[in-house]
């Protein structure tokens, strides 16, 4: 039996004790009624779960998914949804099938990499007026025919699509929500100009998420709270939150936390492939992305202001930054990065919590600066160095 001893994240609190595992699974948790090591003990939390990540470590899900999964594991993200940008539905469907094939291979291999728990399609049925950094020409108008082209045959040909971000105010979108829900696909509302009523109707139709809260969505006005306001008030939606302190300001995070608590907010990286690569520039969609602070920007046309795209940080760096800046507590940050997204995916009996029977996915953090000391994926240690680095 293997053991890690320290302060365990349990039910949103840090409790002194030990976690024991055998093979891939947690066997037992031992809780000390009185601490012996005080606050010096390392923090042991479930591995992080990222609902929204476009790439990492210089790798994108298309063609380099294994490398991406390896790079994520090295920074403590032990399960994730590779997130694909929009494309013409049939082409995106084929791309999803290709990525999912590699995902299943990666998941089946002994190498300790982050587990791929399904794909997240950020579009294409989103509102062009709220496209943000998504290429407008790749968006699609909602229709059942387009959805079928995207999802493939009704029997499913293994595209692994677990989450679709869509804008509920688009004509025909509610039919798509119902159809996706029937197919056990999570619908997350985003890139949207929805009113609160639009969002409420979508939630009634089965939508369960809000994609990167506050970003690329209708914001709060006191007579029309928009999608952001609905996501802050409805416990039915698990709201993604980008924690780089660029995409969402500290006070907006405090507002979200006051409204929803750590069990309503999923810390997502929304990282682009240049994140975690050590580079300050990378190219994607034919655009040069430049890193500034915790985020990526690309030049928007002639003389235009640089446009904010995804983040340049890992979930780990976000946890560290949010705690360092006093925006959230350690317990809140860790819960938002693990348990809440696992529950959002309906995987809380499998991963994302420290509980007997679940996967032995752990991060061990030094208690003051939250430096990452160890990562375990399904009970196996992850080498801390990048291959060749």
Partner 1 sequence: MLHRQSASPRVVLVQDPAAAARLVVDEIADLCARCRAEGRAPVLGLSTGRTPVAIYGELIRRVREGGLDLGHAVAFNLDEYEGLSSSDPRSFAAWMERVLFDPLEWPRSRRHIPDGTVRPADQGAQCAAYEAAIRAAGGIDLQLLGIGRNGHIGFNEPGSDLHSRTRCVELDRSTREDAAADFFPEDPPRRAITMGIATICEARRVRLLAFGAHKRAAIQRALSGPLGEDCPASFLALHPDARFLLDGAAHGPGAQS
- Collect all residues with Cβ–Cβ distance below 8 Å to 221 and sequence separation of at least 6: none
Nearest distance from residue 357's CB to partner 1, in Å? 4
Nearest distance from residue 370's CB to partner 1, in Å? 21
Distances in Å between the alpha carbon of 175 and those of 124, 136, 142, 234? 15, 23, 9, 21
Nearest distance from residue 383's CB to partner 1, in Å? 30
Nearest distance from residue 28's CB to partner 1, in Å? 5
Nearest distance from residue 354's CB to partner 1, in Å? 9
Nearest distance from residue 260's CB to partner 1, in Å? 21
Pick the closer one to partner 1 by CB: 206 or 261: 261
**What whole-number distance in Å separates Cα of residue 325 and Cα of residue 348?**
29
Pick the closer one to partner 1 by CB: 357 or 381: 357
Nearest distance from residue 45's CB to partner 1, in Å? 13
Nearest of 174, 148, 149, 177 to residue 164 by alpha carbon? 177
Pick the closer one to partner 1 by CB: 25 or 324: 25
Nearest distance from residue 348's CB to partner 1, in Å? 7
Pick the closer one to partner 1 by CB: 65 or 347: 347
Nearest of 284, 347, 241 to residue 60 by alpha carbon? 284
Pick the closer one to partner 1 by CB: 159 or 359: 359
Pick the closer one to partner 1 by CB: 2 or 28: 28
Residues forming contacts to partner 1 in the complex (CB under 8 A) are: 1, 10-11, 13, 15, 17, 27-34, 36, 348-349, 353, 355-358
Nearest distance from residue 347's CB to partner 1, in Å? 12
Nearest distance from residue 318's CB to partner 1, in Å? 24
Pick the closer one to partner 1 by CB: 38 or 108: 38
Pick the closer one to partner 1 by CB: 309 or 344: 344
Sign of the Cα pseudo-torsion (289, 160, 191, 269, in order): negative
Pick the closer one to partner 1 by CB: 174 or 337: 337
Torsion of CA 114, 363, 244, 189, to 10 degrees: 50
Nearest distance from residue 40's CB to partner 1, in Å? 16
3-state secondary structure the chain: CEEEEEEEEECCEEEEEEEEEECCEEEEEEECCCCCCHHHCCEEEECEEEEEECCECCECHHHHHHHHHHHHHHCCEEEEEEEECCCCHHHHHHHHHHHHHHHHHHHHCCCCCCEECCEEEECCCCCHHHCCCCCHHHCCCCCHHHHHHHHCCCCCCCCCEEEEEECCCCCCHHHHHHHHHHCCCEEEECCECCCHHHHHHHHHHCCCEECCCCCCECCCECCECHHHHHHHHCCCCEEEEECCCCCCCHHHHHHHHHHHCCCCEEEECCECCCCCCCCCEEEECCEEEEEECCEEEEECCCCCCEEEEEECCCHHHHHHHHHHCCCCCHHHHHHHHCHHHHHHCCCCCCCCCCCCCCECCEEEECCCCCCEEEEEECCEECCCCCCCC
Pick the closer one to partner 1 by CB: 179 or 348: 348
Pick the closer one to partner 1 by CB: 32 or 88: 32
């Amino acid at each position: 039996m293997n053991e890690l001893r320290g302060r365990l994240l349990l039910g949103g609190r840090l409790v002194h004790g030990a976690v024991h595992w055998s093979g891939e699974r947690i066997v037992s948790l031992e809780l000390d009624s009185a601490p012996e090591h005080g606050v010096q003990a390392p923090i042991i939390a479930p591995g992080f779960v990222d609902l929204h990540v476009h790439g990492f470590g210089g790798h994108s899900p298309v063609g380099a998914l294994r490398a991406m999964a390896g790079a994520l594991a090295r920074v403590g993200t032990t399960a994730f949804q590779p997130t694909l940008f929009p494309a013409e539905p049939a082409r995106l469907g084929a791309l999803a099938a290709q990525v999912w094939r590699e995902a299943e291979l990666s998941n089946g291999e002994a190498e300790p990499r982050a587990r791929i728990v399904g794909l997240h399609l950020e579009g294409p049925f989103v509102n062009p007026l709220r496209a943000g950094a998504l290429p407008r020409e790749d968006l699609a108008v909602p229709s059942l025919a387009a959805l079928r082209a995207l999802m493939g045959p009704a029997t499913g040909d293994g595209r692994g699509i677990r989450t679709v971000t869509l804008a509920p105010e688009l004509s025909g979108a509610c039919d798509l929500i119902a159809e996706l829900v029937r197919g056990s696909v999570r619908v997350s509302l985003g890139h949207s100009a929805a009113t609160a009523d639009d969002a409420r109707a979508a939630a009634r139709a089965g939508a369960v998420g809000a994609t990167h809260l506050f970003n690329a969505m209708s914001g709060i006005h006191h007579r029309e709270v928009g999608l952001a306001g609905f996501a802050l008030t409805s416990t039915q939606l698990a709201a993604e939150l980008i924690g780089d302190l660029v995409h969402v300001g500290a006070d907006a995070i405090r507002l979200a936390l006051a409204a929803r608590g750590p069990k309503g907010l999923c810390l997502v990286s929304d990282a682009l492939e240049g994140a975690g690569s050590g580079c300050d520039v990378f190219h994607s969609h034919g655009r040069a992305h430049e890193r500034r602070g915790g985020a990526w920007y690309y030049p928007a046309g002639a003389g235009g202001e640089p446009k904010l795209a995804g983040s340049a940080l890992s979930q780990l760096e976000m946890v560290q930054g949010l705690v360092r800046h006093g925006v959230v507590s350690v317990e809140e940050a860790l819960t938002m990065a693990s348990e809440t997204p696992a529950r959002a995916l309906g995987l809380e009996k499998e991963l994302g919590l420290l509980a007997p029977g679940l996967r032995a996915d752990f991060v061990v953090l030094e208690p003051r600066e939250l430096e990452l000391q160890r990562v375990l994926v399904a009970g196996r240690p992850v080498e801390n160095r990048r291959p060749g680095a």
